[in-house]
């Protein structure tokens, strides 16, 4: 637990006689890869809309990565320079706490790499921001899986928000859909194609490639990591299942509570037989509320027929269908999202966080 000295965070307010009040927020980012750069570009592109529709403005005052360290620009980075990797406007902070204080953060965007085993150090980053009185927006699944309840309670106590729309299905509105627009609904279960890498690999295998060749093709396309084990072995899908269960169904699952079977054991004969019958194999994550408060969940390959809505989820697309007390299956799908889709989820969380505070 971090013991964070209290310090005052101010929000600049721009006014002129007869004009709307524009609130300007200091934004800081941890993790500044493709998604972080897409977020800065999207914020800049939407700046006029943010000002005119939501009376919101911003400046990016902090960026941090393992390679760059803790960079601060108290008066704001020039967006074009930041996107192009020009950090000449920055000074350096000593550590996380010094960085948050120096950049006077109002909003933290957490987009560092996932640690599927512990969720750290992203949890520590978010906890420190909330303690400092800043909203925390996460594209990292780790804090959602391992500390959602604690971080949400801390955010409430500090009068700020912890949102994480981009942590599960890029920018598709999954968490906010139920939080904002479907009050009093009961989620009884869900199923979904939650991992795009396995989707691409299985499609390559369905076209006649070996498993190893399909993995190499997914890596060539930039879909699979150098070590694709988290995807192939069902870990990434299981992480998402845990996040959805704990946030939307009030569960308390751990990663080890979700039995998982990846796609390594699928044989060419199984794929060929499915292809000949018009079926497809997909890696499916499922959860269902059993008797009382018990929730069962698993991840494993399933053979789907053309009548199944998940059958047509192809390429890097994702889809999840929720069983509720009202809707037999409410399906949320996204087709071949790119980094800007993930960035949009963070942008929407930012707007919703500051509007509700």
pLDDT tens digits, one per residue of 233-256 = 999 999 999 999 999 999 999 999
DSSP annotation of 309? G
pLDDT band at 2 (very low <50, low <70, confident <90, very high): very low
Tell me if residue 46 is catalytic.
no
Name the H helices within 207-338.
211-220, 229-232, 235-248, 268-276
pLDDT of residue 147: 96
CB-side neighbour CA atoms (13 Å) of 129: 31
pLDDT band at 291 (very low <50, low <70, confident <90, very high): confident
Taking 70 as the threshold, does the pLDDT of residue 9 lie above it? Answer: no
Return the higher-pLDDT residue of 2 and 307. Answer: 307
Domain with CATH 3.40.50.720 in the chain: 12-171+340-355
pLDDT of residue 356: 77
pLDDT of residue 30: 98
Distance of alpha carbon 17 from alpha carbon 248, whole angstroms? 45
Average pLDDT, rounded, for the chain: 92
Closest CA to 40 of 5, 86, 4: 86
Distance of alpha carbon 345 from alpha carbon 171, whole angstroms? 4
Average pLDDT on 52-77 reads 96
Helices 34-45 and 47-54 pack at an angle, to 10 degrees, of 60
In three-state secondary structure terms, 201 is helix
Q: Do 302 and 282 form a contact (C-beta atoms < 8 A)?
A: yes
Average pLDDT on 165-183 reads 93
Average pLDDT on 294-302 reads 97
Name the H helices within the chain.
34-45, 47-54, 79-83, 96-103, 122-131, 141-158, 166-169, 175-176, 196-206, 211-220, 229-232, 235-248, 268-276, 339-355
Q: Which residue has the tokens 């505070």?
A: 357
Taking 50 as the threshold, does the pLDDT of residue 129 lie above it? Answer: yes
Average pLDDT on 2-7 reads 42
Question: Per the omega criterion (within 30 degrees of 0), is the bond before 121 cis?
Answer: yes
State both tokens at 37.
């750069």
pLDDT tens, position by position, 70-116: 999 999 999 999 999 999 999 999 999 999 999 999 999 999 999 98
Average pLDDT on 291-310 reads 94
pLDDT of residue 107: 98
Q: Do 110 and 140 form a contact (C-beta atoms < 8 A)?
A: yes
Q: Which of 240, 254, 280, 282 is catalytic?
A: 240
pLDDT of residue 8: 42
The region of weakest confidence among 12-26, 55-69, 334-348 is 12-26
CA distance readout (Å), 341 to 57, 60, 104, 210, 328: 21, 20, 27, 31, 28
pLDDT tens, position by position, 312-337: 999 999 999 999 999 999 999 999 98
pLDDT of residue 293: 81
Q: Do 1 and 150 form a contact (C-beta atoms < 8 A)?
A: no
Closest CA to 26 of 64, 89, 77: 77
For the 187-336 domain, the top CATH level (class) is: alpha beta
pLDDT of residue 21: 87
pLDDT of residue 3: 41
Domain with CATH 3.30.360.10 in the chain: 187-336
Burial of 183 (0-12, 13-18, 19+ CB in 10 A): exposed
Please state which CATH number belongs to domain 12-171+340-355. Answer: 3.40.50.720
Taking 50 as the threshold, does the pLDDT of residue 5 lie above it? Answer: no
* Dihedral over alpha carbons 8, 166, 181, 125 (to 10 degrees): -30
pLDDT of residue 15: 52
pLDDT of residue 171: 87
Closest CA to 282 of 300, 257, 260, 255: 300
CB-side neighbour CA atoms (13 Å) of 264: 11
Q: How many helices (H) and strands (E) does the chain have?
A: 14, 13
pLDDT of residue 268: 86
Distance of alpha carbon 101 from alpha carbon 65, whole angstroms? 17
Percent of the chain with pLDDT over 90: 86
pLDDT tens, position by position, 215-230: 999 999 889 999 999 9
């Amino acid at each position: 637990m971090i013991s964070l000295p209290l310090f005052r965070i101010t929000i600049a307010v721009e006014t002129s006689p007869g004009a709307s009040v524009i609130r300007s927020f200091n934004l800081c980012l941890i993790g500044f890869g493709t998604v972080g750069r897409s977020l800065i570009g999207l914020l800049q592109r939407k700046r006029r809309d943010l000002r005119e529709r939501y009376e919101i403005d911003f400046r990016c005052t902090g960026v941090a990565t393992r390679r760059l360290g803790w960079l601060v620009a108290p008066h704001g980075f020039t967006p074009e320079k930041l996107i192009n990797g020009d950090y000449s406007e920055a000074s350096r902070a000593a550590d996380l706490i010094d960085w948050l204080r120096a950049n006077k953060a109002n909003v933290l965007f957490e987009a560092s790499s996932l640690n599927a085993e512990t969720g750290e150090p992203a949890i520590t980053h978010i906890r420190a921001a909330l303690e400092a009185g800043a909203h925390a927006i996460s594209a990292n699944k780790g804090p959602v899986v391992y500390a959602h309840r604690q971080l949400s309670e801390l955010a409430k106590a500090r009068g700020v928000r912890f949102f994480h729309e981009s942590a599960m299905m890029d920018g598709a509105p999954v968490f906010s859909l139920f939080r904002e627009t479907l009050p009093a609904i009961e989620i009884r279960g869900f199923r979904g194609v939650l991992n795009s890498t396995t989707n691409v690999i299985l499609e390559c295998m369905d076209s006649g490639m070996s498993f190893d060749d399909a993995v190499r093709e997914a890596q060539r396309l930039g879909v699979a990591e150098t070590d694709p084990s988290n995807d192939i072995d069902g870990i990434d899908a299981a992480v998402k299942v845990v996040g959805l269960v704990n946030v939307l169904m009030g569960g308390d699952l751990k990663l080890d509570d979700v039995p998982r079977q990846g796609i390594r054991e699928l044989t060419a004969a199984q794929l060929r037989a499915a292809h000949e019958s018009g079926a497809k194999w997909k890696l499916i994550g499922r959860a269902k509320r059993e008797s009382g408060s018990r929730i069962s969940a698993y991840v494993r390959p399933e053979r789907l027929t053309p009548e199944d809505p998940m059958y047509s989820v192809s390429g890097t697309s994702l889809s999840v269908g929720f069983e509720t007390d009202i809707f037999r299956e409410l399906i949320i799908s996204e087709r071949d999202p790119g980094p800007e889709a993930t960035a949009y989820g963070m942008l929407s969380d930012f707007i919703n966080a500051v509007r509700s505070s």
